[in-house]
A and B are shown apart, each in its own frame.
Chain A
């Protein structure tokens, strides 16, 4: 008699056992995207269709697709992505990849060029517009970006892709995914790019990432992720006497473990642990031929300018339903951050800060049309002590098409090491002896920034027409705003004042057909501040993306993005930005494989000037001009 095995094996006989019995529950509540009407915040999802139609070649550009974001290019590989305050290192948002924070404890913000992630690996990006420290902790101050990568089961098989384009941009990717009861995905990539013509900002980056999902049986699962990005980034310039052209060597890697256990009756236990490491090393040459001051010349030589940031994080979360109407989450985390930089912090040892937190939230269906979301996180941070970040949101959904949400929450942004403990000076030998030029000093009295945010949001959805509308009015009271003050030679970060942000934003998504859609968004932000430079975010930002399949397998799309001119505190004025991108792609179904060829042209109708953070007067707008950047992409899945 043939033995019938229950479990994964190739081609067994079909029998009644395939109808009876339990299957492992894969779509657990933590895996499921929370329906937007039930969420305590406004959430925009950038899905795979939008990612492809946009034709964007770099991850930060994707945020042009959601309301209220400003994306600026500081140089060939450094981006400023912000939704409330634009800066060289925008650090008011929490950024996660599969739940792992990639926020830098050293300088804050994210170094997008050091994420071991290719756009082809992204399944979707969930952008929470507004603070949610109650769920995501400190630094989820004005928003949260969660990048979710594609599960191996979704991309089974092999994929090869090559992209060539402007600025000598080349990207080559190879991905393999598969496995029986344990699924694996591995991606190998190479990216290079010369950046702006007149800037020394090339990138050469090898990349590797791995994602394994292990089925441990009886409702338990374990996933392991590993990633590495290396290579070089060009830095310095021929105009900069104290930093001549050289390469920064990058070593960035991470490891992440996620364990989940289905405890039955809708209860779930999640354990997460990860380790991030980023080291940037520079051996900076100086220019001995130009004087730094009358008669003073630097002696030829180099100095070291390294920066290391490392994070260890562990967290536990327990989700459970209580009766029919309540879902509760309870959890806690512990974290240790280490930053090391002899150059920027003037000490050779690691500066370690520890923090921990406990959180709880509940989702309570009060009545048929009313949902209450309440949560809080208590956190204690070495540098700044303990505080509570609560959040409450009430949603009224009188009928499936419409829902109205009222929310209020408090969030904090902790100062990062560089803000509190910078001790940055240039100590260089010259013809008259060693000269020390202080640049930044520490401010141990720096307090966290506080945000009290209130919002009212409306969501409308007409699934029979494929139409959804998301609008939000909000008012954020930002206290103890941190900015750079002080005289040249003694600059430091201080809590300079308060701002009130009043914003109105909206987004419309309309699915016109199986392969055609429109996404439109617009944000208006009015800033009132006792800070004298208060136009630190463009008052109007909007975007439009249209995509349509014109015939068999040919997709065309058009994107238009605009933001107004504004003023970055202490720096230059990014000009008005009006950009139009087009993309045309053709899919080929081959015998056992699928291929796609795409052509993208960005800034097709006029030149724009990318955000210029560099206060160096020698770096003018002309340097940052972008016009008609073209890319050709070929991809085959087999």
Chain B
């Protein structure tokens, strides 16, 4: 090959290798981990993303602090999926990039420290948990005779409790709340609340209701013959009579819809929201064992305002 072409080729490849991979107006998905739910959210996001803007996908382990800082420096949209990624982005954020965090609980989102200089209109979320209206709507739809809804949470869910109380007042159910301040208080709190409840609403809470103590909580609700309303498919399989949750795919899709409306010029995002789409899962074994007659699943979804798909 003529020498000039070789030099040009070398120069071009050098230029390409030095130029930042990221450019302005890109969507940067950062998954907390490889595979699993995160992969599901990523795939669903990409499939639903309706804009021409380029989308790049990363796993958190591929990026170091410097690279994350660089990502946030440009006028991009960063989409962390999961708490690890969100925290990493919040810690390293050094610019003006908008951040749309997907698939984290609302209380965790509120704890993230974003730089003071970043406009709050550039920060948004699609939460993994359900809006209060939908949780209580599920109680109404699946247990029409229930009048007393029990709840055990810690102070971190104080806002959730307020919202639930407002919703409960509208629906004429009584919310029976027990607040706990330490893991040892959870069992006595359950023992206090369950005899006074027709159903127990499970709300994710670092002290009162998490993967580590879900077994005990479910066993206790069963011992008291009180149906539990869960917030994940895992909880229903483990014994919650009915659960409502949004899958990673549903969250990913919602995130894509929000991201499609993002423009790098303003950088602003729609306000934080819960996924519009959701799934309802029954545990028919536990239901039958408790003598609970569950309505038709489709009926329940309709009552909760699910989109037909």
Which residues of A approach B to under 8 Å, CB–CB?
A: 1-2, 4, 6-27, 29, 32-36, 38, 47, 123, 150-151, 153-154, 156-157, 180-181, 183, 215, 400, 461, 463-464, 514-515, 589, 592-594, 637
Bound-state Cα–Cα, A38 to B214, Å = 28
Interface residues of B in 233-292 (CB under 8 A from A): 234-235, 237-239, 245, 248, 283, 285-286, 288-289, 291
Contact B234 A21 (CB under 8 A): yes
The one of A2, A4, A34, A589 in contact with B289, judged by C-beta atoms closer than 8 angstroms, is A34
Contact A27 B212 (CB under 8 A): no
Q: Is B107 an interface residue (CB 8 A)?
A: yes
Q: Is B133 an interface residue (CB 8 A)?
A: no
**Who on chain B is nearest to A215 by CB?**
B215
A233 to chain B, nearest CB (A): 34
Known: A14-B204, A18-B204. A23 touches B245 (CB 8 A): no
**Who on chain A is nearest to B91 by CB?**
A1
Q: Is B67 an interface residue (CB 8 A)?
A: no
Q: Is B75 an interface residue (CB 8 A)?
A: no
Q: Cβ of A157: which chain B residues have Cβ within 8 Å of it?
A: 187-188
Q: Cβ of B177: which chain A residues have Cβ within 8 Å of it?
A: none
The one of B196, B219, B225 in contact with A27, judged by C-beta atoms closer than 8 angstroms, is B219
Q: Cβ of A123: which chain B residues have Cβ within 8 Å of it?
A: 223
Q: Cβ of B128: which chain A residues have Cβ within 8 Å of it?
A: 16, 19
Contact B204 A12 (CB under 8 A): no
Contact B210 A18 (CB under 8 A): yes
> What are the nearest 6 A-B pairs in CB distance?
A156-B187, A27-B239, A32-B289, A15-B83, A23-B238, A8-B212
Which residues of B approach A to under 8 Å, CB–CB?
A: 32, 36-37, 82-84, 87-88, 103-105, 107-108, 128-129, 145, 148, 156, 182-183, 185, 187-188, 191-192, 195-196, 204-207, 209-216, 218-220, 222-225, 231-232, 234-235, 237-239, 245, 248, 283, 285-286, 288-289, 291, 293
Known: A27-B222, A27-B238, A35-B288. A19 touches B245 (CB 8 A): yes
Known: A22-B234, A27-B238, A27-B285. A154 touches B223 (CB 8 A): yes
Bound-state Cα–Cα, A12 to B192, Å = 24
Interface of B is mostly: helix
Q: Cβ of A14: which chain B residues have Cβ within 8 Å of it?
A: 105, 107-108, 156, 204-206, 210
Contact B129 A153 (CB under 8 A): no
Contact B214 A23 (CB under 8 A): yes
Contact A15 B105 (CB under 8 A): yes
The one of B182, B204, B220 in contact with A19, judged by C-beta atoms closer than 8 angstroms, is B204
The one of B204, B210, B245, B289 in contact with A35, judged by C-beta atoms closer than 8 angstroms, is B289
Bound-state Cα–Cα, A14 to B291, Å = 33
B251 to chain A, nearest CB (A): 9
Question: What are 21 sample pairs from A and B whose C-beta atoms fall under 8 A apart?
Answer: A4-B83, A4-B84, A11-B183, A18-B210, A18-B232, A19-B105, A19-B204, A19-B232, A20-B234, A22-B237, A26-B215, A27-B239, A27-B286, A32-B222, A32-B289, A153-B220, A156-B188, A461-B291, A463-B145, A463-B291, A515-B195
Q: Cβ of B192: which chain A residues have Cβ within 8 Å of it?
A: 589, 594
Bound-state Cα–Cα, A181 to B235, Å = 17
**Who on chain B is nearest to A589 by CB?**
B192
A139 to chain B, nearest CB (A): 27
Contact B245 A183 (CB under 8 A): no
**Who on chain A is nearest to B105 by CB?**
A14
**Who on chain B is nearest to A593 by CB?**
B188
The one of A1, A12, A19, A32 in contact with B88, judged by C-beta atoms closer than 8 angstroms, is A1
Bound-state Cα–Cα, A146 to B291, Å = 20
Contact A16 B105 (CB under 8 A): yes
B144 to chain A, nearest CB (A): 9
Contact B188 A7 (CB under 8 A): no
Contact A6 B215 (CB under 8 A): no
Bound-state Cα–Cα, A36 to B289, Å = 8
